[in-house]
Amino acid sequence: MPLSENIRLALGSLRANKLRALLTMLGIIIGIGAVIAIITVGDSLSGSIAQEMASLGARNITLSVSQKDDPFSNTNFDELDSLDQDRLFENFEYRDPEPSDLLTDEILKDYQRTFADQLKTIVIREEFGNITASNGRHKAEGQLLGVSPDQAILAKLDLLAGRFITERDRADSRAVAVVSDRFVSQFFGSHPQPADVLGKSFRTEANNIPLRLYIVGVYRYKQEGKIKPTSTEVYIPVDSGVRLLQRTPGYQNLTLQTQDGVDSKQFMERTKTYFDSYYARNPYFSVSVSSLEEAVKSMDKAMQNMKLGISAIAAISLLVGGIGVMNIMMVSVTERTREIGIRMALGAKSRIILFQFIVEAVIICLIGGFIGLALGMSVGSVGAAIMHYPVRPSIPAAIISVIFSMAIGVFFGYYPARRAAQLDPIEALRYE
């Protein structure tokens, strides 16, 4: 008997018992639907996180000078209990870095020459604390950052007026600042145009040291997240911050950008080895190298494992559904015993009977799989949309779910089909 005829007979049997067929498919529908919904939401979440990290510069490499016994930079807290963590902080003594502990322009120039074929740029970014600037009834808050000129590229700043920090500003230690349009509206009020505030100054203080900074540029503030912060970043030349705030000369934090096509993991290892040579004899400080890309990979791996675990739990209903298919096929064989006997008496071979019932079981599971697939994608898409993640239905998961549905039909339909195929024709004809 051709496959098309078996499919037609299977569909006819399902139409004759619609409610029973639907109840049989329920386990398959719920199982497939739950797995697909979980995978859809998980992929949407992973894609959203990867996109956010990419916008923040996931491939950027952070280089920091830190204490060798600093528990924050050298300890995996997940492996320690609360008592061990307390002991760590009890024994830790913070040290202010000396000039010999920090990175200098000479060291960075030598590093750039060594890695010229792999390094795109070095961005210096030093935090000088939070500031407040008052102008009569108006008050603006900001985070004062000392930076090098390439910070504008790294942060992808959209300049509305003026310019960013230049190498000349750094060399002359000029008291200039680049502020956000939000800072401008807070400080000047009445929503002035960005170009109108260029050259104007504001007074503030950082670490109890008074400052007078002149605005040379205004950038567009981009809000991240739903909570609107009260302060924005105020950029000044890093050398100006060191001089005006009487800081120790040298740099403690850098951001590195590599050329396209460079293996970031290998580059980080080589960079760490390079700077370790400078700090080999330093008893207190060393250089740590990290990247958001590694954090993204770890997060993605954890997300995949969690998605796999939840999917495995949801897949238990597939086992229940498969048992339901086996049960209903056993009932079908019993109901159609006389029909099977007649077909065998007319010359139908055992393998034909076996194939017919396996096809019927596969059709039941396949229809349930398609319904579950549609239901899972709909629920997953709605869930992702509610959480404001871009919807990313998984095509491979959809294909695998359909194949898995067919496999369930074959596996759980084989025993009833084999039982039907092994019926004795005479006994089957005598069955009432």
Give DSSP secondary structure letters for 43-112: HHHHHHHHHHHHHHTTT-EEEEEEETT-HHHH--GGGS-HHHHHHHHHH----PPPGGGSB-HHHHHHHH
pLDDT per residue over 274-310, tens digit each? 988 888 888 888 888 887 666 667 777 777 777 777 7
Instruction: Give me the helices (H) in 260-388, please.
Output: 264-278, 292-314, 316-335, 337-345, 350-386
What local confidence, expressed as pLDDT, does residue 183 receive? Answer: 92
- More confident position, 9 or 33: 33
Average pLDDT (352-381) is 83
What local confidence, expressed as pLDDT, does residue 331 receive? Answer: 79
CA distance 35 to 152: 44
Confidence check: pLDDT of 44 > 60:
yes
325 confidence band (pLDDT: 50, 70, 90): confident
State the DSSP H helix or E strand holding residue 218, giving kind and residue range, or none if neither. Answer: strand 209-219
What local confidence, expressed as pLDDT, does residue 52 receive? Answer: 60
Whether the CB-CB separation of 210 and 221 falls below 8 Å is answered with no
Average pLDDT (170-175) is 91
What local confidence, expressed as pLDDT, does residue 80 receive? Answer: 47
What local confidence, expressed as pLDDT, does residue 251 receive? Answer: 87
Q: Which single residue is written with the structure tokens 């700090």?
A: 279
The torsion defined by the Cα of 364, 365, 368 and 372, in degrees rounded to 10, comes to 180
Average pLDDT (367-394) is 81
Residue 209 main-chain phi, psi, to 5 deg: -110, 120
Whether the CB-CB separation of 297 and 80 falls below 8 Å is answered with no
What local confidence, expressed as pLDDT, does residue 18 receive? Answer: 75
What local confidence, expressed as pLDDT, does residue 77 receive? Answer: 42
Whether the CB-CB separation of 255 and 63 falls below 8 Å is answered with yes
247 confidence band (pLDDT: 50, 70, 90): confident
CA distance 284 to 272: 17
What local confidence, expressed as pLDDT, does residue 88 receive? Answer: 53
Query: At residue 53, what is the residue type?
Result: M
